[in-house]
Every structure is written in C-alpha cells, then in structure tokens.
Structure 1
Amino acid sequence: MKSIRKTDIFDGESVDQLAQRIIDHLLQWRCLDAFCDKQILTILDKTESTLKPLPAMLQIEHPVTIFGDIHGQLDSLIRYFDAVGYPPKVQFLFLGDYVDRGAKSLEVSLLLFCYKIRYPHVVHLLRGNHECMKMNRLYGFHEELARKRGTRMWKRYQNVFNELPLCARVGQKILCMHGGISQNCTSWESFRNLKKPNTPKTCDEGLQVDLMWADPTQDKCNAFAINQQRAISVVFGEKALTDFMKKLGLSLIVRAHEVSQDGFNFLFNRKIVTVFSAPYYCGNDTNCGAIMHISPSYEISFTVLRPRMIQTSENADVVRQMENNYKDLMAKSPDPNRGRHLTPAPIPVQPVSIPPLLAPVAPGPPIQIPPLISEMVEMKK
C-alpha cells in the first residue's frame, strides 16, 4: 500500500491548515515542490474570495510595517521577517510588485497569499503595476509559471491580482500606494468610488493607472506631466503633491515603484517617501532594500537590508562603490536588538542627523512625527 506523505492532501484538511503547511514548508525549504497544482489552486481560490469583498482603498490603523517592491526575492522577504517578526505578531502592508524580475515570484506570492488567508486582518496586500497581466506576461512571471506549473496557473493568478486593493490610508494622515498620486482624484469620494480594475484596459485608465504607475519628479514640472520614461501614467512635481495633500488633509505619501540606492528616499521636504524592499535588485544593482515602520505614536523608522559582495579583482570597483553608498546609512536603531542576529559580527554605527519629518495637516491637531531613524542590517549576497 502506498504511504501518504506529510505534504499530500489530507482528507478533511481545511484551507487554513493547508495554508499553514505551505507557510511552514516555504520558510524551511524555500520551495513548493512538495505541493501539487490542486493545492496551489485551492490557495488561489481562497485568496480571491478573501480579497473580493475588500474595497479599492483600505483603512489601516498603525502600528504597521510597510514593504515596497519584493520582485520574487524570497530570501530577502524571509530575512525581513526574521529581523522584525512574523505575522500575526506584526501588522504588515505590502505595496505590490511581488512578482517578476526575481527567480521565486511563485513562492513569494504564495507565501503572502497564505499569510493573507491565515491572518486577513493583519496582512494587507496592494496591487503593483507588475500584478497586471501585460507586465507579468513579459517580465518573468509567465515564464516562471510556465516552467514550474504551467500557463493555466498563470492565467488563474490574474483573477487573484484583479481583486487586490489599490491604496491604503494609515490612520487619517498617511496615504500609501504602489505608484503615486493622480490628477483624477478630487476628494476622498474619488477613492471611495474607485473600482478595482479587472481587465488590461481598465488597468490603464483613470485614477487606478496612476496609483500603480505615477512617479514624483524633481525636473521642471510643478504640476502633472506625461510620464515619458514609462510611456504610461504621469509624473508629478512638488506643487501638484502639495495641492493634493492639502486637498485631502494628508501629512505623508508612502509609495514604492522605484529603485532606491538606500532602500528608501524622501522628496519634497519629506512629504513623500519611496520604499523599495528588493536589495541587490536583479543581481546587478548595488542598492539596499528597506521596509518602513510606523509606530503607535507615528514614529517613522526603517529596517535596511544591505547586500554584501566578496571582493575579487574583477568586482573591486563595484564593492568600493557599494561601501561608499552605505556610509551615510549607518545609524542607531530604535530597537537595538532588531536584526542583530542577522550578522556574524556587530556593524559599526554612527548617528545620522536627519531633521524631523514635518506633518502639515488640514483642520485638526497636527501629527507629531519624531526624527527619522534608520537601521542597517548587513545581508550576504
């Protein structure tokens, strides 16, 4: 009689139990080889039904930890969890771009879907531009799924992506999305009336396309202009951002979508911050990755993962460039124990002088956000 493996489908096993087994297996083995297509499709069905009732804009209360782009970098995702904690002990908001570019988009997306199934009120997933069919058809996810599971599963994934919300408000004064702001937004009613796009055409229209694609720019652009670099959506300058935030009574915009050498980047007198969570992006960028923490009292801090390369005669110039990029990032953490176990030896730290994050608000008492503090966690390639 054929024995039943631990990872085979159990009679009477609930979807929650299956999701937990997949989580445990991914954290230990970093792969899904032990699970059949039927099990993975079961997770996709449950994820879709969990996301479907959610509005296009989520309302989330702090404290919360925010991820930017992950792009299939499973090891980096797990390193962040090791550093700051796993669901449900920590509330997480993910800003999209879970797939493409990296080698383990299937594993990253399924791990997050399983966490969403297990802890739907603690793990929040937004849609990035790579969760649109026309993007993940071209930039790696389709090829990965065709190789690992077949194109039928890739098509099934698109139905799940179509149910992902597009933005989230944290408290009353912070707005988060993958891309950026839009001239198609006139009030909070615009967000309340927003529908999740469910076709390639509707992904490229109106407010939704800007929430997934728009970029801030410091070029000679005070308002909105065509995003010529991406050939879709818009770029926006400081005046457009200031007017948008004043109209909605916001203090900070948090977005992803662009690589940052430090893992995060503030613009326009700290009105907007870009968070990018994929270090050593695509294996040829020397960038750090970061996640952002918003505390119960609106303190802002970052956990930064830094790639480390073994210096050789061929890459000596790249290593020197990386080291120069990281000098200004060495800073004390608000939690001295966070991430300490991730490095074999202590990392020298020095304080970084960063002015307080200002919080201009509409009527009502202002939010006091203390000075920004960042933490460096060294990561081996």
Structure 2
Amino acid sequence: MVFLLKIDSLCFNGDYVDRGAWGLETFLLLLAWKVFMPHRVFLLRGNHESKYCTSVYGFEKEVLTKYGDKAFLLPHQRDQKGRRRIVDCVSTPSPSRYLLVLWRNYLKLEDPSMTLGLSPNKERGIGLLWGPDCTEDFLKKFNLKLIIRSHEGPDAREKRSGFGGMDVGYTIDHVVESGKLITVFSAPDYPQFQATEERFKNKGAYIVLEPPNFDNPNFYSFEAITPRPQVNPYYDYVDVIDSDEELDLVAMVTTTPDDEAVLVE
C-alpha cells in the first residue's frame, strides 16, 4: 500500500471482470483502493461492468460460485460511548434521460479506424468505428492533446486491418494535428482461456503521465506471472466468441420503463 501514497492519482479504464478466474478479487482490490484514496483513484466503467456482459462472460457465475446466493445484513453499530451509528449505504443511481441519450447515440463509438468518418463496426456486430478525422475534431473541439482508451485486447486487434497488434500492451492508433489517440490494454497473456492451444502471449501495459508534458506519456509493459494456477473458467469460452453482437443496451444501465422508452425511440 505504500506505493499508492507516492502516486498523485490512478485511473482505470474499466473492464475489470469477465473472461478470467479472479475478476472478483481484482474488483474488490480496486474498490478497496477507492475507499482508501477516494479522491485519487478513479474507476471508469467499461462495457463489461453491465448486467448483460457479466451474465455471459463469467463474472456472475464467479460471484455465485465463490459466495453463493446469499444475503448479508449489516447491523447497527455502536461506538465506545454506546451511541448508535448507521453506516451510509451507496444507492444505485437512476440515470437521467440525458445519460440514456448519450448511451444510445455516443457510446456506440466502439473502436478507432483508419477510414475517415464513421463506419459500421462489422467485427463486433454493433456500434461504429471512427476515423482519424473524428479524433482530430474531438481533440480540437475540447482543446485536448491526448485520448487514452482501452477495450481492445490482442484477440480483437488480430481481426483489425491497418492497426498494429496488442503485443506489448499498447498501440498509438491516430496521430493527428491536435494530438494522439492511444489504446492501452493491461491484461497480459489474454484471454486466459482459449479454445485453441495457440496463445497470444501478449504483454500488458500501463501509462504514466508526468508534468509538464502530459501529452507525451511513458509506457511500461509487463509479462504475466507464470506458471498460472490451474483453474476452471466461469463461462463457455469455446462457444462464446469475442463479439458484442447480442449486446443488450437496456441492460447496460439501470432504467425505469419511461427511461427505456427514451432509449429505444
């Protein structure tokens, strides 16, 4: 924990669970860091932090296997003077109509492309690809120099033409007048379970930004610890391919019937 105190802030790009055997432990560790340093640890939500993905790619089964279908009760606590204390609980936020419109219209932008403009994302079966001109427009509009995103592992990048592989854990995808678009992927030797004996044996990576040149990041790659413990997968990795074709957008957010009507208009 000492190293955390030496870091100004930590930002994680989502997709903490699924397609592995230790998603629960990983997520709980990140939550512990967030509680320990709430203003310095930032946990962004990926598409796998959703009801649909966790039910298909293993996290739901992992939680039920490790904890079972149980309910836990947090009783009232008393301090040393006998005064009753109630621990605040975090309620599930109800998304606004504006958030749902954003989810419908803008979060369909799945992956970068070398083709100008927007085009259908045929590999994933859902969403759109955006070209370097879109990256330039976004950077210029918001006066930015750098975009760091994730979402694509070595298996996804293998299917993409015009881009380098995710062998070292990161790629520089767009270099435009206003700045750069970078993809970083921090899971080495991914995916953990594969239907074939061939593995990508990719490195994972993380990025360090330092002042004053935040737009010139430092990249650090690392390998998976071997040998890995022998564990069973929590999803059918043979038949469940890396595709979002049946992605349920409504399941990605907590909605009310009225909000869902906005989502599907």
Scaled by the length of structure 2, what TM-score is found?
0.62
Q: Which amino acid aligns with 2:142?
A: L
CA drift of 1:88 comes to 3.0
- Measure the CA separation in 2 of the matches of 1:151 and 1:130: 21
Amino acid at match of 1:280: D
- Report Cα offsets for 1:84-123 as digits up to 9, x if no partner: x732321200000000011111101011111111110111
CA distance in 2: counterparts of 1:245 and 1:252, whole angstroms = 7
1:305 matched to which residue of 2? 222
Q: Displacement of 1:308 after TM fit?
A: 7.5
Partner of 1:267 in structure 2? 173
How far does the alpha carbon of each residue in 1:166-198 deviate from its partner, in whole angstroms, 9 at most, with x for none?
Answer: xxxxxxxxxxxxxxxxxxxxxxxxxxx963x6x
Q: Matches of residues 1-381 of structure 1 in structure 2 within 5 Å?
A: 86-90=3-7, 91-151=9-69, 195=99, 205-207=104-106, 209-210=107-108, 214-218=110-114, 221-259=115-153, 260-269=166-175, 271-283=180-192, 284-297=199-212, 298=214, 299-307=216-224
Matching residue of 1:61: none
Unaligned runs of 5+ in 1: 1-23, 25-84, 154-159, 166-192, 311-381
Give the 3-state SS of the residue equivalent to 1:285 in structure 2: coil
CA offsets 1:119-162 (integer angstroms, 9 cap, x no match):
10111000000001111110010111111113568xxxxxx897
> What is the rounded CA distance, in whole Å, between the counterparts of 1:115 and 1:124 in structure 2?
9
Q: 3-state SS of the aligned residue for 2:3? A: coil
| SS of alignment partner, residue 148 of structure 2 | strand
The Cα of 1:231 is off from its aligned counterpart by: 1.9
Q: How many residues align?
A: 184
> TM-score w.r.t. structure 1 length?
0.44
Q: Distance in 1 between matches of 2:225 and 2:59?
A: 27
5+ unaligned residues in a row in structure 2: which ranges? Answer: 72-89, 154-165, 193-198, 228-265
Whole-angstrom CA distance in 2 between matches of 1:206 and 1:151? 36
Mapped contact 2:174–2:182 kept (Cα < 8 A) = no
| Deviation, structure 1 residue 286 | 1.5
Shift of the 151–95 alpha-carbon distance from structure 1 to 2, 3 Å rule, reads: farther
**CA distance, structure 2, for counterparts of residue 125 and residue 287 of structure 1:** 24
Whole-Å separation in 2 of the counterparts to 1:309 and 1:118: 30
Paired AA for residue 242 in structure 1: E
Structure with higher helix content: 1
User: Where does residue 48 of structure 1 map in the other structure?
Assistant: none
Among the aligned pairs, what percent are the same residue? 35
In 1, Cα distance between equivalents of 2:98 and 2:147:
18
Higher normalized contact order (CA 8 Å, seq sep 6+, divided by chain length): 2
Of residues 101-110 and 292-301 in structure 1, the stretch that sits farther from structure 2 once superposed is: 292-301
